[in-house]
Structure formats: structure tokens, C-alpha cells
Amino acid sequence: MADAFSLPLVEIATLLVEGKIKARALAEEAIANHERFGAHLMAYSQWAPDHARKCADAADAALAVGSRAGSLQGIPTSIKDLFAVSGFPTYAGSPKRLPPKFEIDGPVVANLRRQLATVMGKTHMVEFAFGGTGQNAHYGSPRNPWDATAHRSPGGSSSGAGVSLGEGSALLAFGTDTAASVRLPAAVTGNAGLKLTRGRWSTEGIVPLSSTLDTPGLLARSMADIAFGFAALDPGLGDGFAFLRATPASVDGIRIGIADSWFWDDCENGIGDIVRRALDTLARAGAIVKETPLPEARDAFAIYAEGGISAIELRAFLDRELPDWLATIDPVNAPALLNAEKLSAREYLSRRARMQEAANGAAARFDDVDVIALPTVMFTPHVLTEVSAEQFWARNRNMLHNVMPANFLTLCAATLPVGLDRLGMPVGLQFFAKGGDDERLVAIACAAEAVLGTPRQLLGTPPMCRG
């Protein structure tokens, strides 16, 4: 079947089960797409076509004898190089290979591999996931496929994940989200993204940035594809087909709060207007829309602006596990990690306590709404150039403004594309939901997508991935 990648993930998985398409054919299509576009886009730090073919052949062999390993059997996937994947080195975006203990599959990757998914390789990332612009001084930065003339930020820290989806070398991409790192790259590359409630999925087998905030997450070409992958991998669900069948296609009666002006006032290039039009469409389709302030987001951002807790927790990890890596840290990140040693235990614990207080307040905001809606990113992804550390962190703060509150407030969150801004770059609509409401969040986001249209319908194909 030509261009199977144009189909929804559930349809591709169904065709695999029915024997109407082979996993090997999917893998070859993914490989061909990467060969056409990958040299310029640089999604992968470790591209592994031979490994992918072996995975696909194993999936086909099992299906040929009626063996169903899981919903993701034979599905091409990419994995951020923060995840341990046995048989692959782990660098975590650093210039040196990490010790063998960081190459042992954790529960998330083990589940994926038990389902006989096709692993295409490991994607580029910001060093130790510490940053949201996608820049990496050691390897360079993947290119956002939506700008054919300038090298724009692909978002970070899962910088190669969204690019792998755009070029058509993966149908599902694995990332992590500590303050933005799934939703930000998903939004700016025209994909959907899901940040789970912290603790929903294990972080074992993932190189840590922040033991307090880290969570695995998914990027995909649509929210429907996210839903299929989420249910296939979630220990409490385990079946992408059944979950997607139960997902409503209507937003009638869904209670959507519109976040307050703090999330909107600085939007550029028409981003705010595009997101508001999408919300108006949902209201006309039956959603119950009301203004819902979330003042705790300001408290969370203040803690982040003071330095948050990621720097000190990453520094503690490096001191304990990888002390030799400090000498080669990306020069942009080095000052923050070096200064982290000056943070007192009293101040660290105070920030933790303030975060918890803000999270407690935020939870009450969902008493009369199902989700709170806001733009995912207020700013068009910038052109990557040589910048000072001060300029870098200013850009980083801007890009994270609307996404990091979900992590600090222990919420779950999803983003889906809703249009292109004045510069032709993707715009994301983000939903926050109360921590623990992951299934309902995914169902609501899928219902919204059913009303608004899929990314492919709304955006088309990235300019650098056409022809």
C-alpha cells in the first residue's frame, strides 16, 4: 500500500493485524522518507535502519502465526536519547557515552519492545534535557521542517522527536516533559503532544533531569494517534483499539475554561487569535466555555524565574553519577549548573513547598471545568543563531511561559495544532487538566480534534517534507 503513513495510526495497526500491510513495508517507507528529508532535518542522533528492519521482520513473523503482541506491533517509533534502549548507546545529548547502567530498558521502553514495535533510532535532544529551544552545542540542532529558508527552533528538549514525525520516519515519538519538552516541540513542529500526570508512567530507565518534575510523554501526528499510543502503553489500559473506539467525537457538554490574560497578552504573529477562533468553533459545536483564571501559574513561573529546581536536581545527579561530564557541559547551560551549588537546602525546600502550595490551589480551579484552554506557545519559534547565555535564557523563558506551569502545578496537559501563524509556523491549542485526569484529557483533546480537523487537514505537509 503506497503512502500508508497518510493513514491514522489505528487504521495502520488494523491493516497490520489483517495482513493487508506488512511491518517491513512500513519500515521501508519510513527509511525512504528519512533518506529523502533526513540529511537536512537531522532528527536522529542514532539512525538505525538495519535494526528497524529486524524489528519489523519479527513483528511480521509473529503476526503470520496469529500472535498479537500489542497494539503497537510493527509501528515505526522514534525514541529520545534520554531513554535507555538496550543495544543502543545512551548519550543524553552529551558528547560522551553514558555508563552501561544507562542502557537498560525501563518499563516504558520494555513495554514498547514487548509489543514488537519497530524502533527506528534515537532522536536528538538538548544536553541532559536542560533547555527548551532545541540547541545543542555538541551536535547542532534539528531543523524545524516548517521553514524551508531559515533554521528555526524545533523546540526542546525533545528536539528531534517532532522532526522525526514531520519527515515521516516515525508514527509515534517518545519524549520526556519536565517543563515543556514534549508539548513545546510538538506544538512548534505541527504535531500533537501529551504530558502525563507525574508518576502515571515510570521514569526508570530515563536519564533524570529533575526527579521532582520528570515524566515520559508522547508526540504523534494527531491526537487520535496520541490516544492510540497512550492506551497501548498505559498499564491501566493496554489496548489502543478499545480506547479509541470509546473516545467521543463530540464536544457537546464538555466544560472548557479559557485561561486568563497572563497566557494571552504577549502572543505574537496572530497566535492568540488563531487559538481563540478554535475555541469559538468548539463553543459553537456544543462545548460550554467560560473564563477560568489560573493565578497559581504566576506563582509557578516566579519559582521558575528564580531558578526553579531542575538545575539543582540535575547538578546533584551529575555530581553523584557523572561528575566527569560537568567539564564538557554546553557552555550555555554551564553557568546555571555551576551556580546551582550555591543554592541552599533551605531555599531548595522552600521552592518545593511553594510549588506544592500553588499546585493545591490550582487543583481547585477544575471543580467546575474539565479542562483549561490556552495557547501552547505564545511565540513563533526563533531562528537559531549564535547568542549569549543571557539571550538564550530569555528566549527559553519565553518559549516555556505557557507550558511549564503544568509541570510545576502537577497537572496533565495536551497540545494539538489549530493553524499557522503569520509566518507560516504551527500554532498549538493546549489543554490543562487536573492531575490524574489523563484519560479524560486525552478523550477531550480527541473530541476537539474531531471538530477542528486533524493537523494534516489544517496545516498540510511541512514545506521541507514535500515532493
Which of 182, 254, 251 has its CA nearest to residue 218?
Answer: 182
Cα–Cα distance, 247 to 309 (Å, whole number) = 37
Active site annotation includes 101: no
**Which neighbouring-strand residues pair with 429?**
375, 416
**H or E element at residue 282:** helix 271-284
Count CA within 13 A, CB hemisphere, residue 173.
Answer: 38
Active site annotation includes 158: no
Handedness of CA 119, 416, 129, 310 (dihedral sign): negative
Cα–Cα distance, 23 to 29 (Å, whole number) = 10
DSSP state of 103: G
Residue among 181, 210, 222, 310 flagged as catalytic: 181
At residue 172, the 3 state secondary structure works out as strand
Cα–Cα distance, 158 to 106 (Å, whole number) = 18
Cα–Cα distance, 329 to 339 (Å, whole number) = 13
Q: The C-alpha cell of 139 is what?
A: 551536535
Q: The C-alpha cell of 344 is what?
A: 541552599
Cα–Cα distance, 256 to 68 (Å, whole number) = 38
Residue type, 285: A
At residue 227, the 3 state secondary structure works out as helix
Q: Give the number of domains in the chain.
A: 1
Residue among 141, 157, 158, 169 flagged as catalytic: 157
Q: Which residues of 140-159 are buried (b: 16+ CB within 10 A; e: fewer)?
A: ebbbbbbbeeebbbbbbbbb
Q: What is the per-residue pLDDT for 387?
A: 67
270 torsion bin: left (phi>0), alpha (psi -120 to 50), beta (else)? left
- Percent helix, percent strand, percent coil in the chain, to nearest 5: 45, 15, 40
Cα–Cα distance, 99 to 274 (Å, whole number) = 46
Taking the chain (467 residues) in runs of 10, the rounded mean pLDDT of each run is 82 96 97 94 98 98 97 98 98 98 98 98 98 94 97 97 98 98 98 98 98 98 97 91 88 98 98 98 98 98 95 96 96 90 94 98 98 98 80 88 98 98 98 97 97 95 92
Residue among 45, 71, 80, 122 flagged as catalytic: 80
The CATH number given to whatever domain includes residue 242 is 3.90.1300.10
**356 lies in which domain range?**
4-465
